[in-house]
Structure 1
Amino acid sequence: MDTVLFDMFGVIARTQSDESRAALERASGLDPEVFWGSYWGERQAYDRGDVDGPAYWRTVGRGAGTGFDDRAVAELVELDLASWSRVDEEMVSLVTGLSQSGVRLGLLSNIPFEIADLFEAEHARVLDLFPVLGLSCRIGRAKPEAQAFDWCLQGLGVEPGRVLFVDDSERNVAAARELGLGGHHFTSAEGLRKELSERGITAD
């Protein structure tokens, strides 16, 4: 095994903080359970690039039994963007070491256009670590769809058995394993380092 395919959020970039989640809930004016049910229920199409941010948020509102006006939609787009904007420097360092060691790297991230634009503008140093960059909104496929993994495998030019897929979602890891990739459910940089070492993958 000589190739590592990374997820972005929850691995290399941080997930939403409690503060950012609370800000979204307040802006929506909805019960948190209802809000998050609709937020995640409609997310796949947004991540895949089928819709843009305003269209996504109007769909979220309808799914929650309400409607967001233009001002609310603009605020929700901005708050959502900010909630996914932080990188984990420890993980960036780990990936940098792998890159410097000559490990073949790829990224497969469920990410909508607005957040992809942000990362390309503000975190290019992170994205540049990955010769194969599978941003779901750009490739028109999102995890756990098999086509998303297939796109990355074609770009990497390797068989599935040579790839370790790293994601904080057990569902996505299971999907990768069904396609013949190795899988690591990410919970910490330390745990990943141990997994990589056991598989003979080392970083400078």
Structure 2
Amino acid sequence: MTAVLFDMFGVIACHQPADACARLEATAQVPGKDFWDSYWGLRQPYDRGDQSGPEYWRTVADSLGVSFDERRTEALIAADTASWSEVDAEMVQFIGELADGGTRIGLLSNIPEELAAHYEKHQPWLRNFEFLAFSCRIGHAKPEPGAYTWCSDAFGLAPEDVLFVDDRQDNVRAAEALGMRAHLFTSLATLKPALAESALRPAGG
């Protein structure tokens, strides 16, 4: 293993907690499945940087048959950003230890611009990464192949010399399809031996 490429949400940062999800539904005034079907079903262009926050929420509103005025849209962007802001302190510490120990690490995250800017402002541990491949800035969002090739190019390495860590099976499989090694993240306890095993395995092995 020459380098490790980390996903952020579900690995280092936390998924949206229930109270934050409830706040989003209340702000939109559209509860339940219909809201989340639109929220996720229309998310990829927003994460990829093809849409701004107001444009994304306009498409969500249109799909739901409602409208969000400017004030409501600003509140939705704020609530959405807050819902993704919690991090795993144990993983943050581990990332710092890897960097201090000389491991080359990069970050690949599906993230819209508003949230990316929020993380850069409030999370100094991001400086541990060799690069930040935020989907909104590289023009590719996982599991699109371009997201992974952008990162291997940023490392200056062949895909097989990169270990990709993500909590979603579809993202892991996409990385493997391009030749990367990959680990489906469930916990730090299972990640550590996977990193050790990959470090001992020759490139391409």
TM-score category by the smaller chain? over 0.9
1:9-48 C-alpha deviation (Å, 9 max, x unpaired): 1111111101101111111122310001000111111111
User: Partners in 2 of 1:151 and 1:7 — Cα distance?
Assistant: 14
Aligned to 1:4: 4
Write the mapping of 1:1-204 to structure 2, written as runs, cut at 5 A. Answer: 1-123=1-123, 125-200=124-199
SS at the partner of 1:4?
strand
SS at the partner of 1:107?
strand
1:34-68 C-alpha deviation (Å, 9 max, x unpaired): 00100011111111111111111111111122222
User: Partners in 1 of 2:113 and 2:74 — Cα distance?
Assistant: 15
- RMSD of the TM alignment (CA)? 1.2
- Shift, 1:73, TM fit: 1.1
Q: Which amino acid aligns with 2:68?
A: F
Percent identity between the aligned chains? Answer: 50
Gaps of 5+ in 2: 201-205
TM-score in terms of structure 2 length: 0.94
Q: Which amino acid aligns with 2:172?
A: V
- Shift, 1:78, TM fit: 0.7
- Between stretches 94-103 and 149-158, larger displacement belongs to 94-103
- Shift, 1:200, TM fit: 2.9
Q: Which amino acid aligns with 1:26?
A: A
Aligned to 2:203: none
- Between stretches 60-69 and 167-176, larger displacement belongs to 60-69
SS at the partner of 1:8?
coil
Contact conserved, 2:46 with 2:53, CA < 8 A, in 1? yes
**Deviant stretches of 4+, over 4 Å:** none
SS at the partner of 2:116?
helix
User: Partners in 1 of 2:120 and 2:31 — Cα distance?
Assistant: 33
TM-score in terms of structure 1 length: 0.94
Q: How many residues align?
A: 200
Gaps of 5+ in 1: none
- Shift, 1:88, TM fit: 1.2
1:154-186 C-alpha deviation (Å, 9 max, x unpaired): 110111111110011111111000001011111
User: Partners in 2 of 1:67 and 1:6 — Cα distance?
Assistant: 37
User: Partners in 1 of 2:61 and 2:189 — Cα distance?
Assistant: 40
